[in-house]
């Protein structure tokens, strides 16, 4: 059976450029300075990230892969997905394990990778479809913040968000993101989330400051992106990579530190005149956060978004976890929240969580929910350049 290969591109055209300019202006004029991490992922940034995943210090990918190698068949049996949706899919390297299991189990028909990086998504779509020839592959280039509702519903879903990318969100952003994921789910769908766990500070810092300097290169590449996209004149070599553990916020942070005072012009981020920014000697700009989780924090974030943690899988070193959730029916979720507000219940993360995995029996009813795109044949590239907002 020939597979359908569709790449839907959601771009905001000039608005995307405007959004970047606005975010960069806001970030560089605030104190302390910060830049949005989403702009790391141009083609070079995506390639550097793939190199990072293979570094000896970067345990995250190996630990998550270990869990997937051990649990993919079990996950495929529990979730029986007809469709795997992967958010922030990148190169889809680990995803292949789950795709393989669900494919062998006979349930899987379609894979929907979603990512802001068009180059990386195009190659993932083409690689996955040549590896799994009878699978429909429907790639979507879009932004978590604006385009999750563009994801078609093509059958019973397993929505995945791997690589601890959720750690890059501030608390409010994480809440909004999880609520949008909840909105994607029907009652027989599942959500699988990869999270990095709190651990020894030295191990954490080493993972973000490797000896070969690939993470430093990845971090500095953000300035290359701003030079290219916003016509900025950052002297990239004058900024040093810094990785530090912020215990109070339970997160790793990446910064770029100015070596000597710097004056930078960013014409593309100016309003009436080009934006001019000064850096004191050793002043930093924060470029990424990576929150480290406990099971309690994940369970509470899920509950707030109307998601129920059903299973928790960790690697042998307890460094990384995969959390499997289902949607709490909307009526129950509203009652839960009202009851918690009335009783002033303590944070779930302060309560003891029962040990062991608890997984619900597979839901009865295999009804196919027909919303979204018809199954197409052959190669189809659907480019949607209209503004969505
Ligand atoms: C840390 S990488 C993880 C990649 C892959 N899932 C893995 O586990 O190796 C984060 C991915 O999310 C994508 N991404 C970052 N910000 C995004 C956004 N706002 N909307 C959509 N994708 C985004 C990046 O392009 C990148 O592929």
What residue segments make up the domains of the chain, in order of their start? Answer: 4-9+53-200+293-384, 33-41+201-289
Asked if 90 and 117 touch (Cβ cutoff 8 Å), the reply is yes
Beta bridge partners of 378: 4
Alpha carbons 55 and 315: distance in angstroms, whole number: 18
pLDDT per residue as tens digits for the range 66-81: 999 999 999 999 999 9
pLDDT reported for residue 171: 95
- Indicate if ligand 1 lies below 6 Å from the C-beta of 167: no
Asked if 124 and 139 touch (Cβ cutoff 8 Å), the reply is yes
Structure tokens at 26: 């806001």
- Indicate if ligand 1 lies below 6 Å from the C-beta of 288: no
Which contiguous run of DSSP H or E holds residue 262?
A: strand 262-266
Alpha carbons 74 and 27: distance in angstroms, whole number: 44
Structure tokens at 249: 């916020």
- Indicate if ligand 1 lies below 6 Å from the C-beta of 90: yes
Asked if 162 and 87 touch (Cβ cutoff 8 Å), the reply is no
pLDDT per residue as tens digits for the range 22-60: 999 999 999 999 999 999 999 999 999 999 999 999 999
Ligand 1 pocket test, candidate residues 41, 50, 88, most atoms within 8 A of CB:
88
326 burial via Cβ count (<10 Å: 0-12, 13-18, 19+): buried
CA of residue 346 relative to chain centroid, distance: 29
Q: Measured in angstroms, how far is the CA atom of residue 145 from the centroid of ligand 1?
A: 12
pLDDT at 389 over 90: no
Alpha carbons 29 and 49: distance in angstroms, whole number: 28
Task: Report the topology of domain 4-9+53-200+293-384.
Answer: Rossmann fold (3.40.50)
pLDDT per residue as tens digits for the range 255-279: 999 999 999 999 999 988 889 999 9
Ligand 1 pocket test, candidate residues 61, 68, 90, most atoms within 8 A of CB:
90
Q: What is the mean pLDDT of residues 187-196?
A: 97
- Indicate if ligand 1 lies below 6 Å from the C-beta of 41: yes
């Amino acid at each position: 059976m020939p597979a359908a290969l569709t790449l839907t591109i959601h771009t905001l055209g000039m608005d995307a450029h405007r959004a970047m300019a606005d975010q960069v202006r806001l970030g560089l004029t605030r104190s302390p300075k910060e830049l949005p991490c989403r702009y790391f992922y141009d083609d070079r940034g995506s390639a550097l990230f793939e190199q990072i995943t293979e570094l000896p210090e970067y345990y995250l990918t190996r630990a998550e892969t270990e869990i997937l190698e051990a649990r993919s068949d079990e996950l495929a049996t529990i979730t029986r997905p007809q469709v795997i949706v992967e958010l922030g899919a990148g190169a889809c390297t680990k995803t292949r394990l789950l795709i393989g299991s669900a494919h062998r189990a006979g349930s899987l028909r379609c894979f929907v990778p979603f990512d802001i990086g068009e180059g990386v998504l195009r190659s993932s779509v083409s690689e996955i479809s040549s590896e799994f020839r009878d699978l429909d592959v429907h790639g979507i280039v879009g932004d978590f913040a604006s385009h999750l509702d563009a994801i078609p519903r093509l059958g019973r879903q397993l929505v995945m968000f791997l690589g601890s990318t959720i750690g890059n969100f501030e608390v409010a952003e994480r809440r909004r993101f999880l609520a949008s994921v909840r909105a994607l789910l029907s009652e027989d769908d599942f959500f699988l989330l990869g999270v990095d766990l709190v651990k020894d500070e030295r191990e954490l810092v080493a993972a973000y400051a490797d000896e070969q300097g690939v993470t430093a290169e990845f971090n500095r590449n953000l300035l290359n992106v701003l030079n290219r996209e916003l016509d900025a004149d950052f002297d990239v070599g004058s900024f040093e990579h810094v990785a530090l553990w912020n215990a109070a916020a339970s997160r790793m942070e990446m910064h770029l530190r100015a070596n000597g005072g710097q004056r930078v012009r960013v014409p593309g981020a100016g309003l009436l005149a080009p934006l001019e920014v000064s850096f004191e000697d050793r002043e930093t700009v924060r470029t990424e956060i990576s929150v480290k989780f406990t099971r309690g924090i994940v369970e509470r974030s899920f509950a707030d978004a109307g998601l129920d943690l059903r299973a928790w899988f960790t690697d042998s070193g307890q460094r990384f976890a995969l959390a499997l959730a289902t949607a709490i029916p909307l009526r129950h979720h509203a009652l839960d929240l009202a009851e918690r507000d009335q009783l002033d219940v303590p944070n779930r993360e302060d309560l003891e969580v029962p040990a062991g995995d608890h997984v619900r029996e597979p839901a009865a009813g295999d009804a196919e929910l027909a919303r979204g795109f018809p199954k197409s044949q052959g190669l189809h590239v659907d480019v949607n350049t209209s503004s969505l907002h």
